[in-house]
Amino acid sequence: MASSDHKSSRDAALDLLVYAPLGLALEARTLMPDLIQRGRNQVTMARMVGRFAVQQGQVEATRRLGPMQGQVESVLADLGLVPRPETTPQAAPRPAPEAEPAAAAEPEIEAPAVEDLAVTDYDSLAASQVVPRLRALSATELEDVRRYEASGRGRKTILNRIAQLQSR
């Protein structure tokens, strides 16, 4: 029995290593077109499934994130990164060079101390935290913040928002 087990293992190895590659080489011409077509069909199916998945993902993302779009646009407008639809006509008459001469005149007017600003802990706040607070400031307080910011970090988000509020 041991010799028949050994013989069948040897026969299996010969089948796998010699006869199968030989048979494949002899039949390759007839098998190749069918294998190519099957491969193409698989790629076509994968593309269709991928397109469907992307379309469904876009639909789902729009469904879930659509309600937040208005909020995001409002925050971006508050930050001065995009114009508000109702302020677009007002933004056009306000040319940017007007802000530059004021910035050039700043060294003559000393910026207020951070402790004198109407925004508490101003230096520890990110621009996204400062911008929403600007709307509640008086014209004088806004100008103080503008001068302080222009003489220090010069964050455009804050300076642009102040310019928008001062032009109203």
- Tell me the pLDDT tens digit for each residue of 86-129: 544 444 445 444 444 444 444 457 889 989 899 988 999 998 99
> How many whole angstroms separate alpha carbon 113 and alpha carbon 28?
85
Q: Which residue has the tokens 């494949």?
A: 24
Q: Which of 6-20, 37-51, 81-95 has the lowest mean pLDDT?
A: 81-95
Q: Which of 18-27, 40-49, 98-107 has the lowest mean pLDDT?
A: 98-107
Instruction: Give the 3-state secondary structure of residue 39.
Output: helix
Q: What confidence score (pLDDT) does residue 91 get?
A: 44
> How many whole angstroms separate alpha carbon 161 and alpha carbon 79?
6
Q: What confidence score (pLDDT) does residue 156 get?
A: 92
> How many whole angstroms separate alpha carbon 6 and alpha carbon 9?
5
Q: Which residue has the tokens 């994130």?
A: 65
Q: What confidence score (pLDDT) does residue 85 get?
A: 60
Residue 29, both tokens: 């011409």
Q: Burial, 146: exposed, middle or buried (Cβ in 10 Å; 0-12, 13-18, 19+)? A: buried
Q: Which residue has the tokens 């293992």?
A: 9
The rounded percent of the chain whose pLDDT value lies above 90 is 35
Q: What is the pLDDT of residues 122-152, one digit of tens each?
A: 999 998 999 999 999 999 999 999 999 999 8
> How many whole angstroms separate alpha carbon 161 and alpha carbon 159?
5
Mean of the pLDDT values across residues 63-80? 77
Q: Which residue has the tokens 């007839």?
A: 30
